[in-house]
A and B are shown apart, each in its own frame.
Chain A
């Protein structure tokens, strides 16, 4: 115990008070009759921190999984891709710079299973050399991969064997060659897709792929060089310097057709693919924490209000202000810690459940047990925020005058307003910090905290206005119960502000979560397969068009759409060569600001580097609409810039609009194009859509292929077999499988969104109810007095109903309006989804919030009837 001199020198500073054993002893004693009530305080923290821990852990787990497996994800230090074969002399030069080099050629093709008389689209990968340099290909039998390096054969995914009832040793037909199945893959080489591809990988030797005759100039073949870099280059400045190593090789082999990928860029692209999902999680975390904080502030406010007489007595008996404050802060800290530990445990459990659910959707191995550091950091941060919100009402303890023992006065100190302002500022800063930790963007986090602050101020303003208005409009001619109920809205110790801030803010936050969840669902919902094409026939050469159409006609299958496709890359935008734009982007990336700037004013790298499969036609499709400019009119001027129709979102990414010029590299030939219009495209439909569309008369002579879509009533197996026999280069992509795959991934993500949103709502509603019930002591006493004076139970109940219904409906309406505004802003600026809310959801939100309030009123009024007045007047309740 701190030494105290007999003159009574008690700790006068808060820190000293917290290290004074009596403070904690007194805190324990004081909680004796309040423990059940204080559970609400702990529950608020449990709910807030559980959501926070689960959400932050989920994000950290995915990121850490990606980071630690970045090299294994790529399998090399540097990967160079091209749609054209690499010139041999360049390969030799690159090989001289690398420790090891491996070649890969991949192509999509149909694989024919003779024994089952069926075919399946597969992604054929022909590897030569020691790739993957990091990670290992695992097969069954275990020596199958080594065996394939020495003899002809093919390795398949086990599912294919099951699907077509074949076994190791059976023969399959790839293009024009027949190959024996040497084994199945347990773990393949790293793939470049964000999520594993829609068609299964199969592995063959490079000579076998060449023999199969699948490689033609305009086919969809991709050529890759995988490099294991010399230690000297790799270790220049660690993993983060991989882009520098890539630039070094790129500078020497200056060819804009080549794409370079490093473990770092692979990690980034994977991280981005989860961005929307993570943004939603970030918002959920903020909502959960804010709801928890509302609960904390409400519970502590009610607790301190009940403790005014005790504090006044302690002050009379010589207790310094900070020591009294310390008692209640100690309670808040102890309960907060308990709540935080329980919340962290619940958060870990939630995280593990979500990871178990998502595991199959993620392209990386992730650990169901979250990082201890993340859990500790998040728990600590959440605990500090919750305690911060508890401080606001707790500070009132310091202002309680000892004179309250004589008269009920608890004056407010002159500095209280300034202090409140400072605490609000600190809380906003803490929320922003946590938001940035969760969402990854300071600006977005600041925007969310700012929106919360604005909502808070609006609701406080509505409360103040309600107090003024009700005082003025109330008339003596009104029925007594109505007058009494409405008067409770402005009388001393009214609950108007408490209701607006808790129920209004709660309705706003929870409804916003549900509305955003709906928007995300709407956005990821796949179009109804019944009205979409179910089969894409890709890589149809111009001289094969009639033949393929005839195959369809023989089987009475419709040709839904047909489009010519020419591949191209961007060479310059508004006169700035693409290399300069990429260099600027690389510099930003090395500064560690890439993700922030990409969302601001930089052109995303993938947009610059990607290969555009463009088409030409003279009319808009059913899934397109012009948003800026005019559709093509008349023939293109062969000597001027070619008119180009650009998809509106890619135009935003490229920072171009109607009238701007771009130079496009159409397989070695530069074409100058001027943007004639911007199109909005509904990508959720599986129709043939393109980023770039040209008018007829420009690209006809460029090397290309056609895509035809059709719809098969049942299985497309027979059609696929016919096609692979007559046109081995034509790939049939069964969209039913794609729709199922996409649907499965989205369903899992959707399920996680559902779980997290439901958890937030389920955790939030009890907090709100608890907060509403916190104000019951005052109403209890007044109502008992009324009962003592002869009021009937019915009158008391009606008074309660008038007050709680008025507050509930007003809070609900305010919350709903704010939620509609927040949803629109988030949908437009963050999630790029429809800003229009579901009116039924709004009505449900309105009814639920109002109903909660009315229910609270009914519960309280029943309590008054059920308790003997004397018990309450004596202070037992």
Chain B
């Protein structure tokens, strides 16, 4: 498989022991609703993730996993506490500054793929580059789509692709400019086991090659144990954490 990552990848840095935190969370709380009708979904979460590291967040439905993911990526505002992404406190940034930070540092993979339906596969992959003003990198987009096995599906629209193919386009979009951190919300949640397997392989392979930190929200324990760290949540709190060598 052809490598597309820079010569000195974040993974290399991590392996050399010069790690630094890509994600730092301090006393993070999230409450919905008005006074008197409040619903606290996250309570004093503290968590740090090093560059190139992998972490799975597991827990029952309603435990606050997806909310935590959204706050970590700056998709929503915390009620209190702090999220630092690559050293930048998200709460000090406005929405557009957060968007710019995401474009520079963050990749996403969603359970429902979240491809733009009016764009072809290649155009979907190009969007993050175009938003960086790098429209000329079409070759990189083609390369990564070939890498995920969709070289013959470049001009297909999402509705013309199967679920597995759509998720591979999403993966290609996430890694077209190697992000420092990738947030994946149930990346295999809409896929069967057979389709999921190559997706998961690709996810961890790209993580290894580009040194991207991975944050996976999942119910799938089989997937979770492939991450170096597994964080378990319940009722808005981290109730346990396990670390082991990633596969």
Contacts and interface: CB of A to CB of B under 8 A. Distances in A.
Given A318-B131, A320-B99, A32 B66 contact: no
A320 B69 contact: no
Nearest to A324: B99
Contacts of B197: none
Interface in A293-342: 309-310, 312-322
Contact of B116 (A6, A12, A310): A310
Interface majority SS (helix, strand, loop, mixed), chain A: loop
A9 interface: yes
A317 B117 CA distance: 15
Given A22-B130, A406-B69, A318 B118 contact: no
Contacts of A317: 102-103, 108, 127-128, 131, 173
Contacts of A321: 95-96, 99
A405 B114 contact: yes
Nearest to B111: A406
B114 A309 contact: yes
A8 interface: yes
Contact of A22 (B117, B135, B159): B135
Contacts of A875: 117, 159
A34 B118 contact: yes
Contacts of B101: 318
Interface string A1-38: 11111111110100000000010011001111110000
Contacts of B96: 12, 320-322
B102 A316 contact: yes
B76 to A, nearest CB: 4
A366 B159 CA distance: 58
A395 to B, nearest CB: 15
Contacts of B123: 29
A32 B118 contact: yes
B27 to A, nearest CB: 21
B66 A407 contact: yes
Interface in B222-238: none
Contacts of A255: none
A250 B19 CA distance: 101
A403 B66 CA distance: 10
B26 interface: no
B200 interface: no
The CB with the most chain A CB atoms within 10 A, among B102, B104, B106, B110, is that of B102
Contacts of B130: 22, 25-26
B114 A316 contact: yes
Nearest to A405: B114
A3 B133 CA distance: 7
A874 B110 contact: no
A162 interface: no
Interface string A533-557: 0000000000000000000000000
A8 B75 contact: no
A637 interface: no
Contacts of B106: 318
B104 A318 contact: yes
Contacts, number: 111
Contacts of B134: 6
B53 interface: no
Contacts of B75: 316, 401-403, 405-406
Nearest to A313: B114
Contact of A31 (B70, B116, B118): B118
Contacts of B159: 874-876
Contacts of B108: 316-317, 405
B206 interface: no
Interface in A633-658: none
A342 B70 CA distance: 46
B102 A320 contact: no
Contacts of A312: 114
Contacts of B135: 1, 22
Interface in B116-166: 116-119, 123, 127-128, 130-135, 159
Interface in A692-712: none
Contacts of A315: 95, 99
Interface in B52-72: 66, 69-70
A407 B134 CA distance: 30
Contacts of B118: 29-34, 310
B100 interface: yes
A318 B99 contact: yes
A314 B103 contact: no
B116 A7 contact: no
Nearest to B217: A406
A321 B96 CA distance: 6
Interface string B164-175: 000000000100
Contact of B131 (A8, A407, A876): A8
A875 B112 CA distance: 12
Contacts of A405: 75, 108, 110, 114
A317 B185 CA distance: 15
A317 B114 CA distance: 11
Contacts of B74: 402
B102 A1 contact: no
Contacts of A403: 70, 75-76
A402 B117 contact: no
A318 B133 contact: no
Contacts of B133: 1-6, 8, 10
Contacts of A33: 117-118
A405 B99 CA distance: 14
Interface string A183-225: 0000000000000000000000000000000000000000000
B244 to A, nearest CB: 28
A310 B117 contact: yes
Contacts of A10: 100, 103, 131, 133
Contacts of B127: 314, 317
Interface string B78-103: 00000000000000000110011111
B117 to A, nearest CB: 7
B99 A406 contact: no
Interface string A405-428: 111000000000000000000000
Contacts of A309: 114
A663 B104 CA distance: 90
Given A29-B123, A313-B114, A406-B185, A320 B132 contact: no
A8 B116 contact: no
Nearest to A306: B117
B135 to A, nearest CB: 7
B104 A8 contact: yes
Nearest to B99: A318
Nearest to A3: B133
Contact of A406 (B95, B103, B110, B173): B110
Given A29-B123, A401-B76, A406-B185, A4 B99 contact: no
Nearest to A1: B133
Interface in B13-38: none
A402 B116 contact: no
Nearest to A402: B75
Interface string A32-65: 1110000000000000000000000000000000
A862 B177 CA distance: 47
B180 to A, nearest CB: 13
Nearest to A312: B114
A321 B100 CA distance: 11
A875 B69 CA distance: 26
A367 B132 CA distance: 55
12 contacts: A7-B100, A8-B100, A10-B100, A12-B96, A314-B131, A316-B102, A318-B102, A320-B96, A321-B99, A322-B96, A401-B75, A402-B102
Interface of B: 66, 69-70, 73-76, 95-96, 99-104, 106, 108, 110, 114-119, 123, 127-128, 130-135, 159, 173, 185
Task: Give the 9 A-B residue pairs with the shortest CB-CB distance, closest first.
Answer: A318-B103, A4-B133, A320-B96, A403-B75, A8-B103, A402-B75, A403-B76, A32-B118, A318-B99
Given A8-B132, A402-B73, 6 more contacts: A10-B100, A30-B119, A309-B114, A314-B131, A318-B100, A405-B110
